[in-house]
């Protein structure tokens, strides 16, 4: 095990709690920040988070607080695990007390809808004095919290920093690969959410596993081409945070995006569901593809369906009637 570290984890949802659990089990001194008092009480008193990770026991050493500033007391690094659409608000809250030089690991996947920026760009604008890294890859919170084997990627511009952070956060069942390709890791994590909506819709329409495989494969072509246009490295997109995360997210109801797409495919009332991150990202991803001259019919179709400009059935017919082409064109 690496040297014991003091780690703040900001975000008491499923993923934040899972990452805090792993870090605590690895022997680190971890404080989990959650806005909800009931979550804080549950973590501290019954060592569970029934609202977000039901049935998973948490380490007794893990402590929680609803005081944001106190969560950072003595912290040597922080994991930021809040939704992409609220990340800027949090970053502005941190400005008044966050010590310069404290490494921040951004662990949410998405694109800020109002600006089209990835998480690292948002935080760099608000907190320019903080070293930044991003963590992403094929992982479900319940799997990680239960100690099931998982592998993800952590990227920072300074590869020595990514090496150090990966060593601190890795454990017996969580293997973290270091990278310097922040754009690639973030692009894969955000774009796969949009494609998972499409895969879920296909499953919800009972169109069969062959159609699902086609969506994943052709969707990955769009992810790779758009990711490369944004500056990502091909090998990153072919790795855990790109192809790996796409395959996982497009094949399980544990994925909120896949489940949301499946409900859409079944014609259910979506207003009763918690909004999936891919819903926010779809229109931005489609716009980025157009801006870069990337043909992305699946991403564009998802955006059109969500915006209500085309029905799901008409969208499927339109995709199937596209002119034939060579696979590599």
In the sheet with 132-136, reading across from the earlier edge strand, the strands are 63-65, 29-33, 6-10, 77-80, 104-106, 132-136, 150-155, 174-179
1.10.1040.10, 3.40.50.1860, 1.25.40.420, 1.10.4080.10: which CATH number matches 189-320? Answer: 1.10.1040.10
Asked if 21 contacts 58 with a C-beta cutoff of 8 angstroms, the reply is yes
Question: Which residues in the chain are classed under CATH 1.10.1040.10?
Answer: 189-320
| pTM of this structure | 0.95
Catalytic residue numbers, as ranges? 192
**Fold (CATH) for 6-180:** Rossmann fold (3.40.50)
Give me the pLDDT at residue 39, please. Answer: 97
Chain segment 282-329, per-residue pLDDT in tens: 999 999 999 999 999 999 999 999 999 999 999 999 999 999 999 988
Condensed to tens digits (0 to 9), the pLDDT of residues 112-130 reads 999 999 999 999 999 999 9
* Residue 228, pLDDT score: 98
Query: By the 8 A CB rule, do 40 and 34 touch?
Result: yes
Residue 273: per-residue pLDDT: 87
Tell me the average pLDDT across 203-229. 97
Q: What is the pLDDT of residue 272?
A: 87
Whole-number percent of the chain with pLDDT over 90: 96
The two structure tokens encoding residue 185: 């890791």
pLDDT tens digits, 200-215: 999 999 999 999 999 9
Q: What is the pLDDT of residue 329?
A: 83
Q: In this model, does residue 181 exceed pLDDT 90?
A: yes
How do residues 88-105 score in pLDDT, each as one tens digit? 999 999 999 999 899 999
Q: Which of 188, 190, 185, 251 lies closest to 220, judged by CA?
A: 188
Alpha-carbon torsion (124, 127, 130, 133), positive or negative: negative
* 234-252 residue pLDDT tens: 999 999 999 999 999 999 9
What is the gyration radius of the CA atoms in the chain, in angstroms? 20
Q: Has residue 66 got a pLDDT over 80?
A: yes
The pLDDT of residue 1 is 52
Q: What residues does CATH 3.40.50.720 cover in the chain? A: 6-180
- Rounded to 10 degrees, the C-alpha dihedral 305/306/307/313 comes to 20
% of the chain residues with pLDDT over 70 = 99
What pLDDT band is residue 194 in, cutting at 50, 70 and 90?
very high
């Amino acid at each position: 095990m690496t040297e014991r570290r003091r780690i703040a984890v900001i975000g008491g949802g499923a993923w934040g709690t899972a990452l805090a659990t792993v870090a605590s089990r690895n022997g680190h001194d971890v404080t989990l920040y959650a806005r909800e008092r009931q979550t804080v009480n549950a973590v501290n008193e019954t060592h569970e988070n029934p609202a977000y990770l039901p049935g998973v026991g948490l380490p007794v050493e893990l402590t929680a607080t609803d005081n944001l500033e106190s969560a950072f007391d003595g912290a040597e690094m922080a994991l930021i695990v809040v939704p992409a659409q609220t990340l800027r608000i949090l970053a502005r809250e941190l400005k008044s007390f966050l010590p310069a030089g404290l490494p921040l690991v951004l662990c949410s996947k998405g694109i800020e809808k109002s600006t089209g920026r990835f998480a690292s760009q948002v935080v760099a604008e608000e907190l320019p004095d903080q070293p930044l890294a991003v963590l992403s890859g094929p992982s479900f919170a319940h799997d990680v919290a239960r100690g099931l084997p998982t592998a993800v990627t952590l990227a920072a511009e300074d590869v020595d920093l990514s090496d150090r952070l990966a060593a601190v956060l890795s454990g017996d069942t969580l293997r973290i690969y270091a990278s310097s390709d922040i754009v690639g890791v973030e692009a894969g994590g955000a774009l796969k959410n949009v494609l998972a909506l499409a895969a879920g819709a296909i499953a919800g329409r009972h169109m069969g596993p062959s159609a699902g495989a086609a969506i994943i494969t052709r969707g990955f072509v769009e992810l790779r081409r758009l990711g490369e246009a944004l500056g990502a490295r091909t090998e990153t997109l072919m790795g855990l945070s790109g192809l790996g995360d796409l395959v996982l997210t497009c094949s399980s109801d544990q994925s909120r995006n896949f489940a949301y797409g499946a409900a859409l495919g079944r014609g259910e009332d979506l207003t009763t569901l918690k909004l999936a991150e891919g819903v926010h990202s779809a229109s931005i991803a489609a716009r980025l593809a157009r801006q870069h001259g990337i043909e992305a019919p699946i991403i564009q179709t998802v955006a059109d369906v969500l915006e209500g400009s085309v029905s799901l059935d008409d969208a499927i017919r339109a995709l199937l009637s596209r002119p034939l082409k060579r696979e590599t064109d």
